[in-house]
Structure 1
Amino acid sequence: MSQDDKLTKEEKLRLIDQEINNLHDFCVKSGFTEEQIRSLSAPVARIAERGRRKTWLWRLLKICLVVAAVVLCYSWDPAHRKVAIYGKLALMKVLPYWDWTYLYAEECLIDNPYYVQPPLLTAEDCEVCFDLRGVKRLRKVGHADMSDLLLDNVPLVVTNVCFDLRGVKRLRKVGHADMSDLLLDNVPLVVCFDLRGVKRLRKVEHADMSELLLDNVPLVINQASNSCCSQVCFDLRGVKRLRKVGHADMSDLLLDNVPLVVTDATQDWTELNQMSFDDFLKLFSTQREFTTSGVCDFHCSLKKSLSTAHPSVLLSETQDRADWHAMWRNCEHDGVKLMRKFYGTRPYFLPPMVESQDSNWVFVSKGQNIKHFVPLPFEEHSVVWLAQVKGGVSYRLEPDPICETTCKPIDVTLKPGDTLVVPQDLWTVQLKNSKDSEHVVVVAATGTWD
């Protein structure tokens, strides 16, 4: 073993530092300038800097791993449960050595230095009565003096509160600062100065509603009144057919309860548009997300002859049937998520104010001509859209009973590529097959105002 191997780490570093200092002194005596010495030592300095950078990167990586482990323990339910279980066990183990139970009853782990515990009344506090000669009458009392008087249990009369008070002030649009001063000065006031009856409004913006509520102004919002029905149905001539609908225009139409047909909503549904009718049904018997997910509100004209009320059996058990129809709602997460992959998370025309529900609907039919309009069992949400993927379907929009005297039912027929958008505050949707339609596929979903 060499002599250097016997040296400790500190002795090795001290030896290296001494050699560097000797080398520096030699260079200075040889006539090298500081700039030349710095240039010649740059390779060694770069190695040292690289070592320091590597050390900091390792430290940062360790910190990131610790943070990731903590996040995983709290966000991943199995890990969170394990941490909670073993954490409780560990606390029970240390209980004989450290009584931590007093912390459970503490309201705050960190004491507030500005908090003053209300003193308990004692016999010494009664001594305040010896020097008390009636009730003091003061004006313009500062916070410090008032605090001392109250802590000493001294009652007093503040004389300048009502000095400038001339009746009750009547104000509107009072700012927070002014209201604070008035309340601290015990000044009563009336806010609703310009109120003339109850306002009747519709389509109230958030900013206007905030001002009205802050001004304590009562109002009535007309949602589906007869006057509202008249305004909607007076200019309604069938269902509009639009394309490239912007969010602002769609918001106005939906808030006005105007149904419409969007003609370009399914252009990007390439995979779904290219499927045959049998290929579409095959998805529900071959895709694991569909076969393992239950469905809700399953309706089928052959329901009594099916082995189970699930769309996975439609392809195999309806081959010898020429006329049938079925409808269901994908209501479990896996099935809903897979269905959305075929049409996207949300159609482009839905404005941000519409929050899509965690479900979607499917209607399929083969050959059968539904002679009468059948109400569709959509939940009572704000809006529903129905995309015609294959075949043709006739829809009837029935107005709300409150509007039946002013609004008439509207019939509309969709062809592949059309999407019917219906505000459900005023309209309910009914369906009937077109006579010349052999195979029909409709995908639908609902949403609410966010």
Structure 2
Amino acid sequence: MASQVNVISAEQLNQDFQNILDSIKRQNLSNSEIYKLFSPVRWQLFRSTLIKRIKLSILILVCAAVVYYVPLVNWNVSAVGRLLMIQMLPYWNWRPLYKDRCLIQNFKSKAEIQGPSYYNRGPASGDCSVCENIGSIFKLDNVSYDHLNEYHLLRSFPVVISDSHVKWVERPWVNMAQFFERIESLLFSFPCNVQTNLIFNPTRTLKSSDALFGLLDVLSKSESNASWFLHFRNCELKTVKDTRLIIERPYFYASHLEMPYTTWFLVSYNYSIETPKYLKLDGLIIVMQLKNLLKIILSPRGECGRICKELKVELHEGQALVFSTDLWAMEYLPTASNETAVTFISETMQK
């Protein structure tokens, strides 16, 4: 015979509580005695609440782990999330926030701060003492970020790291055609600050997908072209994230630093010129030479141009140049050799 559960009615429960209160009043118990008397009840209530919260936390963690680690569930949850966000558009236009670096509207974005006159500003003459006796760029290897920061970044001393990254032969692409295939998505994301001699007026022309296909076709046959160069900047947040998957972070890049807010690719072949190419850079700059070599000129900015010397360096494959635009502006000469040169540049905000 199945056991029956005794159910107490609300009226009976209220009557029992009232009897307890009457008994306490008759015994004239103090508040401390009442507190001790009901301590087992309080413990049971606390224990019950704690167990419920622990169970709920475990359930949430298990659900989050399933969503994160199970591809099928992850994809479906993402799809549903995107659909919900689309349904919200008539009530809240969240699209401007998607690419914003800061959700607080009162703060200006990086692009707003960098107006036309931004790159023309520079340090005052009183700040030029750090560079007035610099005649060359130091080269280091097996360096820690602490050493780099203490002896170079704080003083705005440019430095070349000789063992910054793996060489070209150790990378997944075998030839230049495979490399351009790997960065194809970056070009089709309509990069900014594009310069090349392969297309006339690339800033306007490359807004067309047909022009991009044409440029990729030319680049895939790069070594059959007599002489060319191309550099472009990845301004979209998505493309900057994609470059992190293509090019690894240097070993000396400290984990507490922000990730780069924009990146560049410089590619050239047999392109001999006299006037160097100027790049508008800002922040902590890391120039990684992936293939062949690159000739770089660092010029002191502002008043320091009259006091400090211009620095020149040949950056070879596997090396990286680290400097700050607080003091230095960068120009480069595309390679004049019959081997394609490839360079990757990252810009990180400095606090």
TM-score, normalised to structure 2, is 0.61
Question: Whole-Å Cα distance in 1 between the matches of residues 280 and 88 of structure 2?
Answer: 45
8 Å contact 1:391–1:440 — kept in the other structure? Answer: yes
Question: Whole-Å Cα distance in 1 between the matches of residues 161 and 180 of structure 2?
Answer: 25
8 Å contact 2:293–2:315 — kept in the other structure? Answer: yes
1:447 to 333, 348, 351: 348
- Corresponding position: 1:369 with 2:272: yes
Alignment of 1:27-426 (within 5 A): 60=55, 64=59, 76=81, 78-79=83-84, 224-234=123-133, 236-252=134-150, 253-267=152-166, 272=171, 275-285=174-184, 289-290=185-186, 293-304=189-200, 308=206, 313-318=214-219, 319=221, 321-344=225-248, 346-351=249-254, 354-378=257-281, 381-426=282-327
Deviation of the 1:334 alpha carbon? 3.5
8 Å contact 1:266–1:417 — kept in the other structure? Answer: yes
Partner secondary structure for residue 278 of structure 1: helix
Deviation of the 1:313 alpha carbon? 4.1
Deviation of the 1:393 alpha carbon? 1.2
Q: Which whole-Å deviations, capped at 9, do the CAs of 1:260-300 have from their partners, x for residues lacking one? A: 11111112887537542222112234xxx446533222211
Deviation of the 1:84 alpha carbon? 12
Structure 2 residue runs without a partner (length 5+): 6-50, 68-76, 91-121
Q: Which whole-Å deviations, capped at 9, do the CAs of 1:217-269 have from their partners, x for residues lacking one? A: xxxxxx934243123332x2301111112111211211211001111111288
**Runs (4+) of structure 1 moved beyond 6 Å?**
80-85
Question: Whole-Å Cα distance in 1 between the matches of residues 215 and 196 of structure 2?
Answer: 10
Partner secondary structure for residue 200 of structure 2: helix
Instruction: Decide which structure has the larger Cα Rg and report it.
Output: 1
RMSD: 3.9
8 Å contact 1:250–1:351 — kept in the other structure? Answer: no
Partner secondary structure for residue 303 of structure 1: coil
1:154 matched to which residue of 2? none
Over 3 Å counting, the alpha-carbon distance change for 1:448 and 1:61 in structure 2 is closer
Ranked by relative contact order (alpha carbons within 8 Å, sequence separation 6 or more), the top structure is 2
Q: Which whole-Å deviations, capped at 9, do the CAs of 1:167-190 have from their partners, x for residues lacking one? A: xxxxxxxxxxxxxxxxxxxxxxxx
Partner secondary structure for residue 398 of structure 1: strand
Structure 1 residue runs without a partner (length 5+): 1-6, 12-55, 86-222
Q: Which whole-Å deviations, capped at 9, do the CAs of 1:174-220 have from their partners, x for residues lacking one? A: xxxxxxxxxxxxxxxxxxxxxxxxxxxxxxxxxxxxxxxxxxxxxxx
Count of residue pairs brought into register by the alignment = 254
Question: Whole-Å Cα distance in 2 between the matches of residues 77 and 436 of structure 1?
Answer: 49
Partner secondary structure for residue 449 of structure 1: coil
Q: Which whole-Å deviations, capped at 9, do the CAs of 1:334-377 have from their partners, x for residues lacking one? A: 43223211322x32223456423332110111221132211113
8 Å contact 2:167–2:290 — kept in the other structure? Answer: no
Question: Whole-Å Cα distance in 2 between the matches of residues 365 and 294 of structure 1?
Answer: 20
Over 3 Å counting, the alpha-carbon distance change for 1:383 and 1:437 in structure 2 is farther
Q: Which whole-Å deviations, capped at 9, do the CAs of 1:370-406 have from their partners, x for residues lacking one? A: 322111132xx22111111112111100101211222
TM-score, normalised to structure 1, is 0.49
Percent identical residues = 23
Counterpart residue type for residue 319 of structure 2: D
Question: Whole-Å Cα distance in 1 between the matches of residues 318 and 127 of structure 2?
Answer: 32
Over 3 Å counting, the alpha-carbon distance change for 1:292 and 1:375 in structure 2 is closer
